[in-house]
A and B are shown apart, each in its own frame.
Chain A
Amino acid sequence: MSANDEMSLSRRRFLHLVGVIGGSTAAYQAALGLGALPTVALAQPPDIAPLPKGIRKSVLILGACIAGLVSAYELTRRGYDVQVLEASERVGGRVWTVRGGDVIDEVGHRQVCNFDREPHLYFNAGASRIPGEHLALLGYWRELNVELEPFVNLNRDAWVQDDALFGGKRLRNREYVNETRSFVAELGTKSIKPEMLDEQLTAADYKAVLEYLRQFGRLDINLKAARSKRTTSAGFAGPDAMKQLFNSRILSGMAYGESEDQQPVMLVPVGGMDKIVDAFMKKIGKYVQIGARVETLNLTEKGVRVVYRRKGREQESLADFCINSIPMQLLAGIDHNFPNEYAAGLTAVPRGKYFKLAFQAKERFWEREGIYGGISWTMQDISQMWYPSNGIHKQKGVILGAYTFAGAAGDKFAALSPDQRAALAKQQGEKLHPGYSNFVEHGVSVAWHRINHMLGCAAAWNESLRAQWFDRLQSPAGHHYLVGDQMSHLPSWQEGAVQSAFHAIADIDQRVREANT
């Protein structure tokens, strides 16, 4: 056995252990740290070669979403002929800012947003926050001069509410987190005994562990949980407080806020997420046609042939390449001649059923409770309540009254009429803010899996589906490239859409270069 083998073996052994203890996500992250897997994210667009004089290449882009717009922007800069077809009557895909007067084109439940028309009164129905690590996307925001502001994602003054915890009384996030930590820390100090020491853990280490737990849980010098002076909820002092805290499932939702793409403070464009779409459209809007619905997509020997219907008329488009962001669940129903081994992947990945509902608040009642931005969590159907980070101290604001990721919750809300959804969200919001329903009005809701030309958000990849299908679907079928956040390691993030576009245009560039040499 060579030294190299030994090293790789121990590395594999290490990864196995990490996988067992931390789950496979931990193993994946650890593998990235060890350089065992390639990192996929590019902060810069790929360096596409300008087309040589006299050479023309056409790229048909389906979907004027972030992936489509980035592709069009980069390719036109390098001399490619580009046509962008968008099925709906608006551009941006799931980057969608809803303002007063806007139509929500949900199948069977068309809504019109009745918010007042003021610059700060809008609702980002899709993408709504960006972490600082999404460098490729942020690069475009910088390049296109999109003005940004902070987005408060985590606010310890927001509320946590679970009917199974302390009688359903709302708790400040700070109380919930700090008190839980105290209990966990105290439990830890009692569970770790000096007799557990072996050569791996010295007496000094033991002291350090206890001190760490003391700091972590803000324990007193006797290693007892000291109730914070700021804790006002009597529930924490109750005899079975620890039992109730550990049995509550509220952390399962809130833990999402601690995941890699989440940060206490994130970024948003001033005036609505669609400002990035506006910025792209200023550059390449002339290539975009809206209301163009694809009916047939054929791979041909030399490229692609697409038949689409626009204003009741069938039209044909031929191109050397196709970059396609049509959601997989819709693409599967379009007449195509993809090979079976490719087409089967389109129906293999379940569609997400995210749901959002927003209200206009007549008064910014949350600010009177000391809440400026951030998210409250509840175990009720509405799951989350988001307070606006913008428009502070103005009279009105737009509050997100429900945000759910789970399929069952999405189905439940989608089955209701928009009025019924708003009534349910008002009723449940009362547990976070008594009197809530008197303060909010003009509810609008977006059940993404029922929105025209979408029917889903976001692609629900899991590890086995990824292992089976991701590489196949990311690779081209003939001259056809599937893109969008659905074809990325960051589903539901704009950064994923950008990365998918980078992958497609880099591959096209490679093929064009090879053909020209």
Chain B
Amino acid sequence: MIRFGFLASLLMMAASAVAADDLATCILCHGTNTNGNLGVRAPKLSGLEPWYLKRQLELFRSSARGAHPKDVSGGEMRTVALALQADSLDKIAATIATFKEKPPVVTVAGDPARGAKMYATCAACHGANGRGNQALHTPALAKRSDWYLVTQLNNFRDGLRGVETSDLYGGPMRTAAMTLPNAQAIADVVAHINTLR
């Protein structure tokens, strides 16, 4: 029993060392406390719901996300996700949720008033305050990297994301994104989301 306990703690130490390496990889691109880095197009992860983060890592690992040849950044993330230890996903998601958040810099110029009207569609699932709703499997939108929201809305619209049937909640999001008529509408909606802080 004692010997077993010793072995188990050794194994746990090894697992946490692996998770530490994996976390260092997250921070490499996503920045200190994973507060995001536009320089390498890595969005802010801090403050992200652990269940959402884990689900995205799993989607990347199963190639339901990031496998489209035009999704270069998604492809980079997929490579990293595949190299992670399968049993460290929970730990990564839980640890990132503890990181100290820094409000993201505003980079998107749009008309928040116009965006507020279109946001009604988003609010149905993501909430009027943009805080998301786990019961509806929707993540918070407030306090995300705004340029990343634009990229993902485009990816959904262009079929780079949300087209695989195994991405259960990406499909409805793609349908919703298609209702935004053009780049200006996307900028306006994101400008409104930027006011939800």
Which B residues are in CB contact (< 8 Å) with A332? 31, 37-40
Q: Mark B59-103, 1 if CB is under 8 A from A, else 0.
A: 000000000010010011001101100000000000000000010
Q: Mark B172-191, 1 if CB is under 8 A from A, else 0.
A: 00000000000000000000
Q: Mark A185-197, 1 if CB is under 8 A from B, else 0.
A: 0000000000000
Asked if residues B76 and A328 are in contact (CB atoms below 8 Å), the reply is: no
Please tell me the number of chain B residues within 8 Å of chain A, measured between CB atoms: 25
Interface of A is mostly: loop
- Residue B154 lies at the interface, judged by CB distance under 8 Å to chain A: no
- Residue B35 lies at the interface, judged by CB distance under 8 Å to chain A: yes
**Selected contact of A295 from candidates B20, B32, B79, CB within 8 Å:** B32
Which A residues are in CB contact (< 8 Å) with B133? none
Give the interface segment out of A5-13, A60-68, A449-457. Answer: A449-457
Asked if residues B37 and A329 are in contact (CB atoms below 8 Å), the reply is: yes
Asked if residues A108 and B42 are in contact (CB atoms below 8 Å), the reply is: no
Report how far A452 CA is from B36 CA in the complex, Å.
Answer: 17
Considering the complex, give the chain A residue whose CB is closest to the CB of B107.
Answer: A347
Which A residues are in CB contact (< 8 Å) with B82? 108
Report how far A107 CA is from B42 CA in the complex, Å.
Answer: 14
Asked if residues A450 and B40 are in contact (CB atoms below 8 Å), the reply is: no
Given that A296-B32, A334-B32, A455-B29 are known contacts, is A107 also in contact with B38, CB under 8 Å in the complex? no
Asked if residues A333 and B79 are in contact (CB atoms below 8 Å), the reply is: no
Min distance, Cβ A106 to any Cβ of chain B, angstroms:
9
Which B residues are in CB contact (< 8 Å) with A330? 28, 37, 39-40
Min distance, Cβ B61 to any Cβ of chain A, angstroms:
11
- Residue B151 lies at the interface, judged by CB distance under 8 Å to chain A: no
Which B residues are in CB contact (< 8 Å) with A414? 76
Report how far A484 CA is from B33 CA in the complex, Å.
Answer: 26
Asked if residues B69 and A107 are in contact (CB atoms below 8 Å), the reply is: no
Report how far A455 CA is from B35 CA in the complex, Å.
Answer: 17
Asked if residues B35 and A335 are in contact (CB atoms below 8 Å), the reply is: yes
Interface of B is mostly: helix
- Residue B129 lies at the interface, judged by CB distance under 8 Å to chain A: no
Considering the complex, give the chain B residue whose CB is closest to the CB of A336.
Answer: B32
Q: Mark B19-63, 1 if CB is under 8 A from A, else 0.
A: 010001100111111011111101000000000000000000000
Min distance, Cβ B77 to any Cβ of chain A, angstroms:
9
Report how far A107 CA is from B76 CA in the complex, Å.
Answer: 9
Considering the complex, give the chain B residue whose CB is closest to the CB of A344.
Answer: B105
- Residue A174 lies at the interface, judged by CB distance under 8 Å to chain B: no
- Residue A109 lies at the interface, judged by CB distance under 8 Å to chain B: yes
- Residue A52 lies at the interface, judged by CB distance under 8 Å to chain B: no
Given that A108-B82, A109-B79, A293-B24 are known contacts, is A335 also in contact with B32, CB under 8 Å in the complex? yes
Q: List 18 A-B contacts (CB under 8 A).
A: A107-B29, A107-B80, A108-B25, A296-B32, A330-B40, A332-B37, A332-B38, A332-B39, A333-B30, A333-B35, A333-B42, A334-B31, A335-B32, A335-B102, A351-B39, A414-B76, A415-B75, A453-B28
A328-B39, A329-B40, A333-B39 given; 12 more Cβ-contact pairs under 8 Å = A107-B80, A108-B76, A329-B39, A330-B28, A330-B39, A331-B39, A333-B29, A333-B30, A335-B33, A335-B35, A347-B38, A455-B29
Interface residues of A (CB under 8 A from B): 107-110, 293, 295-296, 312, 328-335, 346-347, 351, 411, 414-415, 450, 452-453, 455-456
Interface residues of B (CB under 8 A from A): 20, 24-25, 28-33, 35-40, 42, 69, 72, 75-76, 79-80, 82-83, 102
Going nearest first, the 5 A-B pairs with the smallest beta carbon separation are A333-B31, A333-B37, A332-B39, A329-B39, A108-B79
